[in-house]
Chain A
Amino acid sequence: MGFTRFFRRRYWDEERARELDSYLAEEIADNLARGMPLDAARTAAYRKLGNPTRIREEIYTMNSIGFVETIWQDLRYGARLLRRNPTFAIVAILTLALGTGANTAIFQLVDAIRLRTLPVEHPQQLAEVRIVKAPNGRTGQFNGRWPMLSYPLYLKIKEQQQVFTDVAAWGSASFDLAPGGEERPAQAMWVSGNFFDVLGVRAAAGRLFGPADDVKGCAPSAVLGHAFWQREYAGDPSIVGRTILLDGHRFDVIGVSAREFYGVDVGRAFDVAVPICVEPLFRASSGLDKPDLWFLGGIGRLKPGVTSDQASAQLAGISNGILEATVSSRYIAADAKSYREMVIGARPAASGISGLRRSYGDSLNILLGVTALVLLIACANLANLMLARATAREREVAVRLAIGASRRRIIRQMLSESLLIAAIGAAAGILISQWFSRSLIAFLNSDTDRLFVDLAPDWRVFSFTAAVAIAACLVFGLAPAIRATRTSLGAAMKAGGRGSTDGRERFGVRRALVVVQVALSLVLLVGALLFARSLRNLTTLDPGFRQDGVLTAGLDLRKAKIPEASLAAVTQQIVERVRAVPGVRTVAQTFTTPVGGNFWNDRLIVGGAVQKEAVNFNLVGPGYFEALGIRIAAGRDFGPGDTPQSPKVAIVSESFARKFFPGRDTVGQTFQIETPVGEPRPVYQIIGIASDTKYTDLREPFRPLVHLGMTQDEHPGPFLQLVIRTDTVSSATTAALTRAITEVNPVIGIHYQAVRTQIEQSLSRERLMATLSGFFGGLAVLIATIGLYGVMSYMVTRRRVEIGVRMALGADARSVVRMVVREAGVLLLAGLLVGGVLSVYAARTANTFLYGLQPGDPATLAMAMAALASVTLLASWIPATRASRVQPTAALREE
């Protein structure tokens, strides 16, 4: 049977009918010719032929594909039913669309960040090369997003390994595209000369780096990322051969990488790649010969037949030799020892390397769980609606069964209705998810931390949505369909929905579904409240410094090429100019601002003994404490008398005083810093105590912190960080500041950030969790409330007669209300009990996201329960009052 016939079976049927007619005409004519009367001739002809309708039916079935035929019939029937009941259809499709949409959106992120392989040649052969074990940590300077290797270490690994066809290195950096003034940062990548070869990336224009481009003293050359090329140069191929300005240095553009290639760091896209050999251009003292400057990641292509585990074993075997050969001469004995204890290894890297994955992996898992719960609640609700519909169709089903339909056939018919809802819901869900996942990324994105996530849906996303939709359809459609066909025929035909009470058993499933809904939405609500309260705890806690009206300005003086001797003077000049800008109240120099991202820690020598735990440091100029509202609890602030030549002084935090000099007068005490070998170890005298401030993270407790004086710094660098307290933070302020600074020197690069924004960004993960779980929690409660309302009103309708009888026997309106609300209350209570237990367990998995409260926080649990209870009881109040208005006479007359 061909498909062409299937689609034209109506045509063929008509054709056959005509053919049979022509047969009859011939036969009748023959019979007449034989002398039969007309009547007899016709009867004889029909007898000869047989039943024409049956013949046509037989041919029609030959033309149809049985299964497809009936499915199509069922779908059409289902569609008709939905059209007849648009409210149900809209509610069902909308809840499913939201449910599948949310699931798909989160899965899309999981897919993009975690599952997809890098768009390069044979990604399965790639492995990351890194330090896999560092029992006592690593010491040194850490730069970029993935500081796993130093350059000397990389070179040694590349030279000695035997398991990779080759190993490449890459690192992240940020270069300024602007010639001066406010910075235009480009996301840059240091790459080894073999980087593109190892990955098998092709050029979209020009050529990519080869080993010859990455040699000591190389000429500055750059490869552009495809998106950057499109954005900045509108895809103009003539850019190849021209130059681009990076941090004030001219680079020859030699090519553009392939369109799909964004680097190996999933979640970011590089704008420009430069060979590692140009590094000395950007740093005053090159880091290429420093084994304690960690700024590179390693990625290798495994030789055929070698697994990443085997590679890891080989690397571990050569670790000792490599590490021994690269110990930094600046390390003190203890650091050198822990350096030698490290182990080099390999990890599979087919899906790239990602800091984003590391910081958001758990969040995505939790969100996936949350959206799954929302979908489950939606399904429970739909199952309830379907059950109600099935009950309404009881007689219809009974009639069908009675005239010989098989149960399976009826279940299939009812399931195809569910399938229709699920399919439409899923299709709408995919649309919603596209918008949703993009807004999520936009939510996490910021100017200083630009994300790139490829959200084009792939086969994985579509099959996920399809699987979700089918599972949902089975969950909400199968049970009601099976139940509907299990009715006792006689009872259904007789009763016809007019029974005075309904079977308790029949209500059982619906009650259970409501309990499930209440329990699950309690879990979500508790989660939402925990996240929201954690966020609130974090935003309202006192970090120890002023957050509003403070701006930080990062200045890059390298392009100005100021000799070191006059740097201090120029810096002073800039500070004076900024101070004179209208609206500026205070300005101070600093190494880092609290929660600003930079950090510096070192071990102390107190009373001649090296302290085990490292303490945090900052380097601040006069006015820093005033600008950030940090209190000097004892002693004095830095002053003009503290110069590079005067004795070294320090201001320590209150925690520092408590930890190192408990019960003693801290001011006047001294300590030394355990500086690297070859550097002086001056004695610092404590001149003051400042109140505690958070250092790198709002979540951490107050830790000992040492402030050293910027004015005593003997080697001021070309980078300047200013904290500026202003009346208002606006673009007008920053414009005025830029004018003032560029007047000193027009090529100074500047970027601004408000302290408030900085802090908000440090909490973006918490905000994401709180916002999303709040949204989903609300959605869940709404759906559960609708569910309870539905069940209660349905119950009231079905028990109208019973209520009528009760009222006729003397029950008053209030006792009827009480009866209905009590019914709802029992369901609610059961749901809350189950949900309470579940939520305590569920919250434990999210423990790391909480701040200032425990997973089983009783207040949160109580709040969630109270909120859920009041909303659902309110929802049951409406059907209850409706029940109390039943007119006994009217209800009884119906019977």
Chain B
Amino acid sequence: MRLHKIIFWSMPRRGRPPIEGDMLQGTLDVLVLKTLALGPAHGHTVAHAIEHRSEDVLQVEHGSLYPALHRLEDRGWIASFWGTSEKNRRARYYRLTPKGRKQLEAQTNRWDAIVRAVNRILRPASE
């Protein structure tokens, strides 16, 4: 199994070609939403959760998570509050809003559709 390393950007950096933003950005959003669907969590937890649950395939640059959180909150898909972390530190917690839950469903369906479509192209005969 090859290790895919995906870095989420929003700004092109010198020397590397910019990665097409839209789909990937949307992907990070849906991952965040999925993670939060399991229960409220703060940024640190979300970042590590995505890493672990993808068995380290998706290595999120943790910093890029925060603009994503900000954007999702701005759209009203998640809400935030200050709470106390497991290690007894103050941390900003995020939770999924009902609107966000609907979005998660829609995004998941969309993702499934894309995957099916891409698969159909990549392995036309094997099925």
Chain A residues within CB distance 8 Å of chain B: 1-2, 5, 12, 15-16, 18-20, 22-23, 25-27, 29, 48-52, 54-55, 58-59, 62
Chain B residues within CB distance 8 Å of chain A: 10-11, 42-44, 47, 61-64, 66-67, 70-71, 74, 85, 87, 89-92
Which of A29, A48, A54 lies at the interface centre, i.e. has the most chain B CB atoms within 10 A of its CB?
A: A48
A23–B44 Cα distance when bound, in Å, is 5
Given A5-B74, A19-B92, A48-B62: A59 and B67 interface contact (C-beta under 8 Å): yes
Q: Do the beta carbons of A50 and B44 come within 8 Å of each other?
A: no
- Residues from chain A with a CB closer than 8 A to the CB of B70 are 12, 16, 59, 62
Q: Do the beta carbons of A22 and B67 come within 8 Å of each other?
A: no
Q: Do the beta carbons of B91 and A52 come within 8 Å of each other?
A: no
A342–B92 Cα distance when bound, in Å, is 90
A58–B9 Cα distance when bound, in Å, is 11
A59–B66 Cα distance when bound, in Å, is 8
Q: Do the beta carbons of A55 and B91 come within 8 Å of each other?
A: no
A–B pairs, 15, beta carbons within 8 Å: A2-B74, A16-B70, A19-B92, A22-B42, A22-B91, A22-B92, A23-B44, A25-B89, A26-B44, A26-B91, A29-B87, A48-B62, A59-B66, A59-B70, A62-B74
A48–B65 Cα distance when bound, in Å, is 11
- Residues from chain A with a CB closer than 8 A to the CB of B47 are 23
Given A25-B89, A27-B44, A50-B61: A20 and B66 interface contact (C-beta under 8 Å): yes
Among the listed A22, A29, A58, which residue makes an inter-chain contact with B11, where contact means beta carbons less than 8 Å apart?
Answer: A58
- Residues from chain A with a CB closer than 8 A to the CB of B66 are 16, 19-20, 55, 59
Q: Do the beta carbons of A19 and B63 come within 8 Å of each other?
A: no
Q: Do the beta carbons of B67 and A55 come within 8 Å of each other?
A: yes
Given A55-B66, A58-B67, A59-B67: A23 and B43 interface contact (C-beta under 8 Å): yes
Looking at chain A's contact residues, is the secondary structure mostly helix, strand, loop, or mixed?
A: helix
* Chain B residue at minimum C-beta to C-beta distance from A26: B44
Q: Do the beta carbons of B74 and A1 come within 8 Å of each other?
A: yes
- Residues from chain A with a CB closer than 8 A to the CB of B64 are 50, 55
- Residues from chain A with a CB closer than 8 A to the CB of B43 are 19, 22-23
- Residues from chain A with a CB closer than 8 A to the CB of B44 are 22-23, 26-27
* Chain A residue at minimum C-beta to C-beta distance from B64: A50
Which of B64, B70, B74 lies at the interface centre, i.e. has the most chain A CB atoms within 10 A of its CB?
A: B70
- Residues from chain B with a CB closer than 8 A to the CB of A55 are 63-64, 66-67
A6–B53 Cα distance when bound, in Å, is 36
* Chain A residue at minimum C-beta to C-beta distance from B60: A48
Which of B71, B74, B85, B87 lies at the interface centre, i.e. has the most chain A CB atoms within 10 A of its CB?
A: B74
A16–B74 Cα distance when bound, in Å, is 13
Q: Do the beta carbons of B62 and A26 come within 8 Å of each other?
A: no
Told that A20-B66, A62-B67 touch, could you supply 11 new A-B pairs with CB distance under 8 A?
A19-B43, A20-B63, A22-B43, A23-B47, A23-B62, A26-B42, A29-B87, A49-B62, A50-B63, A54-B63, A55-B66
A78 to chain B, nearest CB (A): 30
B21 to chain A, nearest CB (A): 13
A12–B44 Cα distance when bound, in Å, is 19
A49 to chain B, nearest CB (A): 5
Q: Do the beta carbons of B89 and A22 come within 8 Å of each other?
A: yes
- Residues from chain B with a CB closer than 8 A to the CB of A50 are 61-64
A22–B69 Cα distance when bound, in Å, is 15
A26 to chain B, nearest CB (A): 4
* Chain B residue at minimum C-beta to C-beta distance from A16: B66
B64 to chain A, nearest CB (A): 7
A12–B74 Cα distance when bound, in Å, is 11
A29–B87 Cα distance when bound, in Å, is 9
- Residues from chain A with a CB closer than 8 A to the CB of B61 are 48, 50
Q: Which 3 A-B pairs have the closest CB atoms?
A: A50-B63, A26-B44, A19-B92
- Residues from chain A with a CB closer than 8 A to the CB of B85 are 22, 26
* Chain B residue at minimum C-beta to C-beta distance from A54: B63
- Residues from chain B with a CB closer than 8 A to the CB of A12 are 70
- Residues from chain B with a CB closer than 8 A to the CB of A26 are 42, 44, 85, 87, 89, 91
A24 to chain B, nearest CB (A): 9
* Chain B residue at minimum C-beta to C-beta distance from A55: B63
